[in-house]
Amino acid sequence: MTPLYRQLAALYEQAIAAGSLTPGMRMPSVRELCQRHQVSLTTALQVLRHLESQGRVEARERVGYFVRGLGGVVLPGAREPEVHEPLASDLHVFAGINERISVFLDKARRAGPLPLDLGSAMPAPSLFDAKALNRLAQGLLREQPDILVYGPSAPTTHPEFQQAMARHALTFGVCMAPADIGATHGNSEAVNLALDAVAEPGDVIAVESPTFFGILQAIEVRGLRALEIPCSPHTGISLEALELAARNEPRLRGVVVVPHLQMPQGSVMPDAHKERLVALCVEHGLALIEDDIYREFVESPHVLRPAKAWDRQGDAGQVIYCASLSKSFAPGLRQGWMSAGRWQARVQMLKFARTRNMQTWSQLLAARSVDSSAYERHMRRMRAQLRVQREQSARAVARYFPAGTRLSLPPGGLSLWLELPVGISSTRLYDQALLSGIRIAPGPMFTNTGRYEHFLRLSCGMPFTTQVEEGYRTLGALMADQLAAQQPFPSRKAA
């Protein structure tokens, strides 16, 4: 039976399609939906979030939800996964994700400098306030002129950084002790440390499917085995499939999730889903490695709490929280951070064994930036500009890509995940696009199961220029050529 929130969401989707609700019109609030349809606050919120995940409405901070417009162009939304159990893959053989990723990257390297990169999920440099960052850095140098030539001997994260990130965590509903916060070299090191802390070679780690290829690489190089769990483009990882895995895989040690703007699908996990996920991990003794690098890119009228907010175990907590300022604050600093719950002492030991002392310079810059009101103003500007770029990119997809292409506009973020018509190979498209000076991210990069050959991730991090639009036109033409090559020639009538 279709859930009640999906039934109500379908009603509003019909109203939008029929023109009863027009672009820019304010949607009923959560409380208005409760009164109008006699439903709970949770159901009303699910309705709006589902419409948002489908690209039908957009959330505006402190204002509410509004009907989203795409210039009259509406693409089919992303589909739910067809299976609700762990995806089949041989856990006892070398999967070779590093080799396959290396092949993709080597092809791009041999192609030389590319005029157009639609494959990297990074904001363009123009989206950062370099002048403000330079002023902050100069002020820090004046205050501590020896900071770049002084190497601290203590193997600890700087207290000012710990305190600043603890205050920052409070803004999204999580209370962390400053002493439990550790600085890392970007988000990748945080996830890598978490994997090392919870698993040994031969153990199994559950991941979302599709997932960021860097997570698959990190699992493989450690001699661990990745078990892919189907992921909904609307609610995130399938808890039913994860429950099956927890009961049937004796060496399952943890699960890695991206709850906000899941990479590459762009889903935002509902609070009820996060709460159930934490409870499931507690019940089965699994480490929940929460990669929350994209939370601040979500456009939402309410505070988005990470799964860590439901981790009530204190020092014995099951959630290892990983985050970074690399995409939001200053990519060049690669400043990440984490709080590892019951594995905190082990993570600190592993961190010291690898890198010894932390970099004070980047920690202090990050701490003082996040503590200032300018940080949130910067993020609001960035979210607004990225929304424009995503919508422009979606229009280009609708205009130039073949009929049958599907996507859902995520409520934030740096990329679009597309399902292409059956018959189009994104691997072949990758090779063809390189010859035209365009880099993309084909679907098979995001799995170890051989799936997603007709899926594609495209970056929306750069301003939508005429060059970018021409790139979309070129990709559409290449896909049209692939489809045309599959069509049989019409038979000639006998004279």
The DSSP-derived string for 390-456 is HHHHHHHHHHHSPTT-B----SBSSEEEEEPPTT--HHHHHHHHHHTTEE-EEGGGG-SSS--TTEE
Cα–Cα dist 431/442, whole Å: 10
- Mean pLDDT over 45-64 rounds to 82
Q: What is the pLDDT of residues 9-40, one digit of tens each?
A: 888 887 776 567 877 788 999 999 999 999 99
Cα–Cα dist 139/117, whole Å: 35
- pLDDT for position 494: 37
Residue 484 tokens read as 């045309």
Q: What is the pLDDT of residues 160-201, one digit of tens each?
A: 999 999 999 999 999 999 999 999 999 999 999 999 999 999
- pLDDT for position 82: 65
Is the distance from CB of 80 to CB of 235 less than 8 angstroms?
Answer: no
- pLDDT for position 92: 44
Q: Distances in Å between the alpha carbon of 91 and those of 86, 87, 88, 212, 228?
A: 12, 11, 9, 19, 10
Identify the band that residue 478 occupies on the pLDDT scale cut at 50, 70 and 90. Answer: very high
Cα angle vertex 377, ends 409, 305, to 5°?
Answer: 60
Is the distance from CB of 407 to CB of 394 less than 8 angstroms?
Answer: yes
- Mean pLDDT over 450-455 rounds to 92
Please say whether the dihedral angle defined by the alpha carbons of residues 386, 390, 396 and 399, taken in this order, is positive or negative: negative
- pLDDT for position 77: 65
- The domains found in the chain, sorted by start residue, are 1-69 (1.10.10.10), 128-374 (3.40.640.10)
Among 375, 282, 302, which residue's Cα sits nearest to residue 64?
Answer: 302
Q: What is the pLDDT of residues 307-323, one digit of tens each?
A: 999 997 655 689 999 99
Amino acid at 144: Q
- Mean pLDDT over 393-409 rounds to 92
Mean residue pLDDT of the chain comes to 88
Cα angle vertex 135, ends 130, 141, to 5°?
Answer: 125
- Mean pLDDT over 110-114 rounds to 78
Helices (H) then strands (E): counts for the chain: 15, 15
Is the distance from CB of 352 to CB of 155 less than 8 angstroms?
Answer: yes
End-to-end alpha carbon distance in the chain: 58
Among 60, 127, 108, which residue's Cα sits nearest to residue 327?
Answer: 127
Q: What SS3 state is found at 13?
A: helix
Identify the band that residue 76 occupies on the pLDDT scale cut at 50, 70 and 90. Answer: low
Q: What is the pLDDT of residues 382-398, one digit of tens each?
A: 999 999 999 999 999 99
- pLDDT for position 454: 95
Identify the band that residue 288 occupies on the pLDDT scale cut at 50, 70 and 90. Answer: very high
- Mean pLDDT over 250-263 rounds to 97
Cα–Cα dist 182/7, whole Å: 44
In this predicted structure, the answer to whether residue 151 has a pLDDT above a threshold of 90 is no
Q: What is the pLDDT of residues 361-387, one digit of tens each?
A: 889 999 999 988 888 899 999 999 999
* Run of H or E residues at 289: strand 287-291
Q: What is the pLDDT of residues 211-245, one digit of tens each?
A: 999 999 999 999 999 999 999 988 899 999 999 99
- pLDDT for position 155: 59
- pLDDT for position 96: 67
- pLDDT for position 356: 72
Cα angle vertex 460, ends 455, 463, to 5°?
Answer: 150
- The residue that leads in pLDDT, 67 or 483, is 483
- pLDDT for position 484: 92
Q: What SS3 state is found at 256?
A: strand
| Model pTM score | 0.83
- Mean pLDDT over 269-276 rounds to 94
In this predicted structure, the answer to whether residue 344 has a pLDDT above a threshold of 90 is yes
Residues paired with residue 459 on neighbouring β-strands, in sequence order: 415
Alpha helices in 19-74 (DSSP H): 30-37, 41-53
Cα–Cα dist 69/62, whole Å: 20
Q: What percent of the chain has pLDDT over 90?
A: 61
Cα angle vertex 395, ends 389, 401, to 5°?
Answer: 120
- The residue that leads in pLDDT, 355 or 44, is 44
Identify the band that residue 94 occupies on the pLDDT scale cut at 50, 70 and 90. Answer: very low
